[in-house]
Amino acid sequence: MSTPPLIAVATHHGSIAELLADAEFRSLANRDGFLIELRLDYFEDLCEATLAQALEVFAPNVLATYRCLEEGGKRQNVSDSERIHYLQLCADRGVKFIDIEARTPREGFDLRGAKLISSFHNFDRTPDDLESIWNSMAQQRDVDFIKIAVMPQTVFDTRPLLEILRKHGPRSILLAMGESGLWTRILAGRYGSPLTYARGESAPGTAPGQLTWRQLDELYRFREIGADWQVYGVIGNPVGQSLSPLIHNAALKQRSLSAVYLPFKVELRPAEFVKKFEPLGLRGLSVTIPHKEAVLPACDSLDPLAEKIGAVNTLVWDANFSIRGYNTDAEAAADSLQSALGPMAGKNVAVLGAGGAGRAVAFGVKSRGANVFICNRTPEKAQALLRDVGATVTGFDTLAQQKIDAIVNTTSLGMSPNVAESPLTESQIPPGCVVFDTVYNPRRTRLLELAQARGCRIVEGVEMFIAQGARQFELWTGQKAPVELMRQAVLAQLK
């Protein structure tokens, strides 16, 4: 078996003094499976004496980098030879990895047993000719690993990285930055790459896409992911706030399955994404806003309920790589609402939103005998749903004048980070009805706060979220989902 990949935790500290005072980084020093990436260009107190102090603590499990300005380095007016001088001190001290940009001359540099990472960065875009960049870097003298870090505009820009990983994984460290490139960090080991990068938990800035070492290690089980692992995930936009990775990875780990679940930020063309990224090892996907209808062309077949709804939230690959679409929202929503409303037959239920989630909820409550009312910003979409499910269309403004027993929000209004938004104002909420928000992050949305102020009973989206996720897990794995574990994972996060 090949060696598991390493997690290189990058220093973010402005000085070596600050780094040496950081208990988190000291606790990672020489911890099995980890490296500290010393970013020498960040340290304003860098000199031979302070570097020696840092190496005393962290060597040999160090990746030493002194980035040049042109490729994202922090320090002005420093010559190549000075940078090489400091990296040579690191090599002399026996560090395991040295990163030198492909463009930096390094005549006379003596690796002394360190592995050389030749690197290339583009912080603006993903160049078209990645393969030829890789090939020319591979021809350089003494290069052990080739690091290419690029900035994708969309997830589709990351597809060429997969080609290179499949051909040259064990020699490559390929990174697509930002949220669109998250898979390149998590799945590096699946292709035999030697390492990936992470940030410290105390590092400032939480740009989406930058994972902490603990997320990689504990949530994604980064070091265990091998070539035979199955890949699951959620496609949507936004996905940064989704708690699906949390519940599904917890469940997969608890069941000791060789599978990992990733967030994929997909802005457009979800069906094309499914086809193009299937070679990642995809065996199942959750589908969220705004793709529950647009993803339909990717399905080879549909479960009858999903077909009736005309929207899916779950894709399942079978052993022949045929993709079947399911909708686990409808039942989950009806169960959640019923727990507060009781038997639904003859009750008037208003559904806010007529997208994929709205359609699923409308079918779910209709199948239990409720009279369905639809409110939607775009009237044509409400009309289509009215035809398909047999509902009454009504306006957000006129809702409060009608006899409504329950309201279900299926729009994304109020979802983190836009927590101040609400589909209804307080006076638009019919007094005395049950208000159920399918948005679960935050738990107590603005709509639910307004409903409470209005004296309404409320239903949080968490239980529906867990129920639809548990059903997905069962469709993918054929095993019963550890529901209580999934619930605890969500509640701990939303506390």
Marked catalytic residue, from 13, 121, 291, 347: 121
Q: Angle, to 10 degrees, between the axis of helix 483-494 and the axis of helix 244-254?
A: 140
* CB-based contact 119:99 (threshold 8 Å): yes
C-beta of 134 vs 440, nearer to ligand ATR? 440
* CB-based contact 451:439 (threshold 8 Å): no
Residues in region 137-196 near ligand ATR by CB under 6 A = none
CA-CA distance, 480 to 166, in Å (whole number)?
33
Give the one residue of 62, 155, 354, 470 binding ligand ATR; rule: CB under 6 A. Answer: 354
Binding mask 61-80 for ligand ATR (x = CB under 6 A): --------------------
Residue nearest to ligand ATR (CB): 355
C-beta of 200 vs 355, nearer to ligand ATR? 355
- Residue 55: which residues within 8 A CB-CB, separation 6 or more? 62, 89, 90, 93, 95
Parallel, antiparallel or unpaired: strands 282-287 and 230-236: parallel
Q: Does 378 bind ligand ATR (CB under 6 A)?
A: yes
Marked catalytic residue, from 13, 41, 147, 157: 147
DSSP character at residue 298: G
C-beta of 126 vs 288, nearer to ligand ATR? 288
Give the one residue of 286, 376, 428, 445 binding ligand ATR; rule: CB under 6 A. Answer: 376
Give the one residue of 355, 364, 430, 442 binding ligand ATR; rule: CB under 6 A. Answer: 355
Q: Does 422 bind ligand ATR (CB under 6 A)?
A: no
C-alpha torsion angle, residues 448, 452, 457, 463 (rounded to 10): 30
Give the one residue of 290, 325, 469, 482 binding ligand ATR; rule: CB under 6 A. Answer: 290
C-beta of 118 vs 409, nearer to ligand ATR? 409
For the CB of residue 269, give the shortest distance to ligand ATR in the complex, in Å: 14
Q: Does 353 bind ligand ATR (CB under 6 A)?
A: yes
147 is catalytic: yes
CA-CA distance, 144 to 141, in Å (whole number)?
9
C-alpha torsion angle, residues 224, 230, 235, 240 (rounded to 10): -10
CA-CA distance, 250 to 219, in Å (whole number)?
7
12 is catalytic: no
Marked catalytic residue, from 168, 248, 292, 347: 292
Give the one residue of 214, 308, 368, 381 binding ligand ATR; rule: CB under 6 A. Answer: 381
253 is catalytic: no
DSSP character at residue 4: P
For the CB of residue 355, give the shortest distance to ligand ATR in the complex, in Å: 2
> Facing residues of 199 across strands?
10, 212
CA-CA distance, 127 to 29, in Å (whole number)?
36
Marked catalytic residue, from 99, 157, 303, 329: 329
Size of residue set near ligand ATR by CB under 6 A: 19
C-beta of 152 vs 353, nearer to ligand ATR? 353
C-beta of 230 vs 288, nearer to ligand ATR? 288
C-beta of 112 vs 377, nearer to ligand ATR? 377
C-beta of 39 vs 366, nearer to ligand ATR? 366
Residues in region 356-375 near ligand ATR by CB under 6 A = 356-358
Q: Does 310 bind ligand ATR (CB under 6 A)?
A: no
For the CB of residue 412, give the shortest distance to ligand ATR in the complex, in Å: 5
Of 156, 96, 97, 169, give the one whose Cα is nearest residue 125. Answer: 156
CA-CA distance, 308 to 323, in Å (whole number)?
18
For the CB of residue 153, give the shortest distance to ligand ATR in the complex, in Å: 21
Give the one residue of 88, 237, 242, 412 binding ligand ATR; rule: CB under 6 A. Answer: 412
C-alpha torsion angle, residues 261, 262, 266, 272 (rounded to 10): -50
85 is catalytic: no
For the CB of residue 311, give the shortest distance to ligand ATR in the complex, in Å: 6
Extract the runs of DSSP E, i.e. beta strands, from 238-385: 259-265, 282-287, 301-302, 314-317, 323-326, 348-352, 371-375
Of 294, 300, 239, 302, give the one whose Cα is nearest residue 272. Answer: 294
For the CB of residue 380, give the shortest distance to ligand ATR in the complex, in Å: 8
> Facing residues of 196 across strands?
7
Q: Does 425 bind ligand ATR (CB under 6 A)?
A: no
Give the one residue of 26, 112, 377, 403 binding ligand ATR; rule: CB under 6 A. Answer: 377
* Structure-token pair, residue 58: 């962290």
Per CB under 6 A, the segment of 95-103, 411-419, 430-438, 478-486 that binds ligand ATR is: 411-419
Of 15, 150, 1, 5, give the one whose Cα is nearest residue 74. Answer: 15
Per CB under 6 A, the segment of 43-51, 197-205, 227-235, 282-290 that binds ligand ATR is: 282-290
Of the CA atoms within 13 Å of residue 470, those in its CB half-sphere come to: 18
CA-CA distance, 477 to 475, in Å (whole number)?
6
C-beta of 308 vs 381, nearer to ligand ATR? 381
Of the CA atoms within 13 Å of residue 152, those in its CB half-sphere come to: 25
Applying CB under 6 A, which residues contact ligand ATR? 288-290, 292-293, 353-358, 376-378, 381, 410-413
Please identify every residue annotated as catalytic: 121, 147, 292, 329
